[in-house]
Amino acid sequence: MSKLKIAVQKSGRLHDDSMKILKEIGISVDNGKDQLKASARNFPLEVFYLRNGDIPQYLRDGVVDAAIIGENVLIEKGDDINIVEKLGFSKCRVSIAVPKASKVKSLKDLEQKRIATSYPNTVNYFLDLAGIKANLHIINGSVEIAPNIGLADGICDIVSSGSTLFKNGLKEIEVLLKSEAVLATSPRISAENQTIINKIQFRLKSVLKGRENKYVLLNAPNEKLDRIVEILPGMNSPTILPLVQKGWSSLHSVINKNDFWNVIDELKASGAEGILVCPIENMVL
């Protein structure tokens, strides 16, 4: 039986969450700190632990069939690679930043300026769109230091909290793109391995949907139930079961985790008691 070869970052920001999501979809693999390859124990899958930046080439060549990778790296190096599913972790943006005192306010002001970056294709794409010509200095790390040492007038790099920019006296002037970890596939994937990816995608959707929602249980007097049902924007009609205590019922519903905090006060004011909110592991739709 064919095994799907999937690349996961060997170490770095994507590694732990990538292994965690594989585990959450029921695939057990040895963690790769000291090894480059591992087989799943209960699924036709082989994991290759690789550098994030090398993965687009491996996908293109068909050396691996699929990968968990930062979307920003695919935009930079893999525009022919298919994104199957966004995974909701390692969220960041790729932005242009300049020293706080700089007069550069937008892409337009970068004409003939020096920009340090590890993302030359991305920067060039956006500069071309804006009709701007600038000089790129390609460096592989510590990009934020470049303006301070006189190497560049601005930078293009990953921003998340913004603290690295802040510590280096830089301000973000333009967000070029937003990124998160994604499941991507090789253009050379076989039909047989595509069916394995389809299974993985189905499981991922169930886990990701579960993460977005909470299972809510509460008790309420029967005469208050209609109002409470109105407040709860449930997936389907909620389940209502009678309690031993006469005139009271227990109500169960699935609710978006963000919506829950918006309605909690109203639920209490409408007579809901003993409210329990539980995580959902999987939501199969």
Ligand X SMILES: Nc1ncnc2c1ncn2[C@@H]1O[C@H](COP(=O)(O)OP(=O)(O)OP(=O)(O)O)[C@@H](O)[C@H]1O
- Residue 157 interacts, among ligand X, ligand PRP, none and using kind-specific CB cut-offs from 5 to 8 Å, with ligand PRP
Q: What is the DSSP string of 148-173?
A: TTTS-SEEEEEESSSHHHHHTTEEEE
- Written as one string, the DSSP assignment of 3-52 is -EEEEEESSSTTHHHHHHHHHHTT------TT-SEEE-SSSSEEEEEE-G
Q: Which CB, 147 or 234, lies closer to ligand PRP? A: 147
Scored b (16 or more CB within 10 A) or e, 145-166 reads bbbeeeebbbbbbbbeeeebbe
Is residue 271 helix, strand or coil?
coil
The two beta strands, 170-179 and 92-99, are: antiparallel
Which lies closer to ligand X via its Cβ, residue 52 or residue 193?
52
The footprint of ligand PRP on residues 1-20 (CB under 6 A) is: 13
Binding characters for ligand PRP, 138-177, by CB under 6 A (x = yes): ---x--x------------xxxxxxxx-------------
Pairing, β 213-221 against β 248-256? antiparallel
Q: Give the x-and-dash track for 164-203 against ligand X (CB under 6 A).
A: ---------------x------------------------
Instruction: Give the list of residues 6+ apart from residue 258 with CB closer than 8 angstroms, or none.
Output: none
**Structure tokens that stand for 27 in this block:** 């695939």
Q: Which does 72 bind (CB under 5 to 8 A by kind): ligand PRP, ligand X, none?
A: ligand X
Nearest to 279 by CA among 232, 210, 218: 210
**Residue 245 binds to ligand PRP (criterion: CB under 6 A):** no
In the list ligand X, ligand PRP, none, the entry touching 144 (Cβ below 5 to 8 angstroms by class) is ligand PRP
Query: Please, which of residues 57-76 interact with ligand X by CB under 6 A?
Result: 70, 72-73
Near ligand X by CB under 6 A: residue from 160, 198, 239, 258: 160
Site for ligand PRP in 10-69 (CB under 6 A): 13
Q: How far is the CB of 159 from ligand X (least distance, A)?
A: 7
Q: Interface with ligand PRP includes 112 (CB under 6 A)?
A: no
- Among positions 81-110, residues that touch ligand X (CB under 6 A) are 90, 92
Per-residue string for binding with ligand PRP, 173-212, x by CB under 6 A?
----------------------------------------
**Distance of alpha carbon 156 from alpha carbon 104, whole angstroms:** 13
Strand 170-179: give its sheet, edge to edge: 135-138, 114-117, 154-159, 92-99, 170-179
Q: What is the rounded distance in angstroms from the CA atom of residue 1 to the CA atom of residue 61?
A: 22
Residues near ligand PRP (CB under 6 A): 13, 141, 144, 157-164
Residues near ligand X (CB under 6 A): 9, 12-14, 51-53, 70, 72-73, 90, 92, 158, 160, 179
